[in-house]
Structure 1
Amino acid sequence: MSISVLVGAQWGDEGKGKMVDYFAQKSDLIVRFQGGDNAGHTVINDYGVFKFHLIPCGIFNKDCQCLIGTGVVVNPDVLLEEMQQLTEANISLAGLKVSAKAHILMPYHQKLDELMEVSGGIGTTKRGIGQAYAYKAMRKSLRFEDLLNLENAKKKLADIILVVNKQMSSYGIEPYTVEELFAKCEAWASKISFMIVNPTSFLHERIDADKNILFEGQLGAMKDIDLGIFPYVTSSNPVAAYAAVSGGFPAKKIDKVIGVAKAFSSAVGAGPFPTEEFGGTIDMLRGTGEKPDDEFGARTGRSRRLGWFDIPVLKYTHAINGFDELALCKIDKLDDLPVIKLCVDYKLDGKIIKEFPNTEDLERVEPIYITLPGWLSDTSKIRRIEDLPENAKKYIKTIEDLVGTTIAYVGVGPNREDLAIR
């Protein structure tokens, strides 16, 4: 038995979908443990190209069960859309389950998100994620267990709607009715009830049966609501420890933490991004959007902000996650670069700093770079790290030495099998 947690080591969009799809081939259970449908995990394998926002990326292994966990806020309409996409591709959904304790993202959450962004937001995806978590914290929320007791759900809606409509009134928006929201709950219950499970007993049964379990994080550690670049963060905790918190099991049972990083940096939305550059060499990494691994958001299609690899960020996310190993994705995107910049330190007010700065200071830091030679050769067919070009291995070794962990997997293309392994 093993429990592993896979999380983003940067700002999100690191390649987690690809890596979960790879690890799922030897897993008995994959658990999405936080977030919502505000970000996408792209999977490319023999079945095609898929962009998942809620369903765990282990769904392609028919022997692997998939649980949308307690820490996720779930828009049932989006879930049903993803289920339909998989059904049309002849992918079995028999192993897909939803935690009874997961909170339901309602239409008014998304509407409030849209309204708040218009009045001065932080660049959210307007999917209602933050508002769903806010209502969860206010205890004005429905959980999936309420779809198993619709009369109880209707009573709760009558209480919740009082708060919702006061907010809507402040924006000059027509109020919601209990009847229209309850009708949606009835429709969801008819299609989803059979998938709802008690998450604690479901997970502990598999822990006790010595199953291989992988927890799938969404976004990256720099977007963690407590430890990230607040307020330019998500509304949950995409760090490894939260897998145990939301999963309801002792953290000491986690055997391995896998960080996923990209061979350069990217970010979506507002906030500090020290190594960001525009045009020139860095823009060569973006692509045109025609390929599924080009640098455009899987959820929004927005062009990502791009920059060089940032060692201070990786050292910080390693400190708060404890990476046993790293997967370094998209190194093939650097194949045509004659030289590659690597940020190794920050300078603030003329002095090199050792502590990771707060958000305001991160806006002001000056990145300190070293320059490494590129390898100017195709890495896409290489399957062992030891067979990579010497300068590629030097780049990897430099990152390992500076961060203090091992890079065990190197992504050399978008497909599941496009991996060089140690």
Structure 2
Amino acid sequence: MPISIVVGGQFGSEGKGKVALEIVRRTRGPVTVIRVGGPNSGHTAFDRRGRRWALRQMPAASVDRNVDVVFPAGAYLDVDVLLQEIAALDYPLDRIMISPKAQVVTKQHKAWEEEAALVSSIGSTGSGVGAAVMALAARDAPNFPLKAVHALDHERLHPFLRDVDTSLTLNNRLELGQRIVIEGSQGFGLSLLDGGYWPKATARSTTAAAALAEAGVSPRYVDDITMVLRSYPIRVAGDSGPLPGETTWAEIARRARTERDLSEYTTVTHKLRRVGEFDAALVKRALAANAPHRLVLNHLDYVGPRSSLEMSDGPVRQFITRVEREIGHCIDCYGFSGDGIVLATQPAAS
């Protein structure tokens, strides 16, 4: 049953791409990575040469250039962004497959979002994905102003289309026992149906079940769901919705006793992110909706130095203990900025 799904348990930017890449690197044999969602969020990872990649269309798990990449029917594509990233990565073109039913984000979609003032009213990135979702749901209604465009209808994407639909190809690979990794986008708190913050939400559901549906593969094959968290959740700039315990980057740096500027900026809009305290209530709802096999807690260097992980009275270990108590679930892996994933160890010695 070889499907791994990586999802976020907060408002995005939890480090899902980093985790998906780690899963790929630890897998023996052929791997196919599926990228659902669209270019309205960034995925960041470091390749084996240490180069940092911030990607909006290509999956972060592809930065080593050694996996097949599939954009299924549930993908939303900004063609310019996609082709620029393929060129920058120098990715082998024969290892990329796009479903003819995948959606293309057009200039019309972006213009509509700008005219609708979504950026100022709900903190949208204005990437056009929401409008593309609406156009698809409208099903070419005669009086609806937005039109859906499928990958099949976009000439620049034709080199990546195949005679066999991606869903059939993926299911054939699953029958052969090959691992498929679905790299989810954004986070549970932004989920249109489940997050609880509508209308300050994204245009899609962001749970593991939703990612599976967008990928076009059967839940029968799923054996690994990883939910990723971060020590201090973020939301995008502006009027993007509630953020319990909102604080400042300077305050977080003060607590961590670091002189490093921890400020984060969004990949898409390059605006300063909002940041808040760890919200156990949100994470517990995300756990219920996703039922993950594994839980990863990233950005622990915002709490204290990695060296304090093995100290029972250190800030990082104490933070992990508090989080586990509040959410009622153990943390299986730990993440620090720029590093790989650390597997959970036995309780630290005093």
TM over 0.5, shorter chain:
yes
Alignment of 1:6-405 (within 5 A): 6-27=6-27, 28-33=31-36, 35-45=37-47, 46=49, 48-87=51-90, 91-117=91-117, 121-140=121-140, 163-164=144-145, 188-189=154-155, 191-197=156-162, 198-228=165-195, 229-269=197-237, 270-278=240-248, 281-282=251-252, 284=254, 294-335=263-304, 378-379=305-306, 387=310, 390-391=313-314, 392-405=316-329
Deviation for aligned residue 1:242: 1.1
Query: Runs of 5+ in structure 2 lacking a partner?
Result: 345-350
> What stretches of structure 1 move > 6 A for 4+ residues in a row?
none
Output the CA distance in 2 between the equivalents of 1:264 and 1:18. 17
Output the CA distance in 1 between the equivalents of 2:232 and 2:208. 22
CA-to-aligned-CA distance 1:31-67 (integer Å, 9 cap, x gap): 112x211110111232511111111122234442111
Higher strand share: 1
Aligned residues: 330
Query: Runs of 5+ in structure 1 lacking a partner?
Result: 141-158, 168-175, 336-377
Q: Is the CA contact 1:12–1:267 (under 8 Å) kept in the aligned structure 2?
A: yes
Output the CA distance in 2 between the equivalents of 1:249 and 1:92. 24
Partner of 1:420: 342
Output the CA distance in 2 between the equivalents of 1:24 and 1:119. 35
| TM-score in terms of structure 2 length | 0.85
Q: Is the CA contact 1:59–1:93 (under 8 Å) kept in the aligned structure 2?
A: no
Instruction: Name the amino acid aligned to 1:420.
Output: V
Instruction: Name the amino acid aligned to 2:40.
Output: N
CA-to-aligned-CA distance 1:116-150 (integer Å, 9 cap, x gap): 1179631211111110000000013xxxxxxxxxx
Question: Higher mean Cα deviation, 11-20 or 56-65?
Answer: 56-65
Output the CA distance in 2 between the equivalents of 1:118 and 1:3. 35
Output the CA distance in 1 between the equivalents of 2:249 and 2:15. 23
CA RMSD of aligned residues (A): 2.9
Deviation for aligned residue 1:284: 4.9
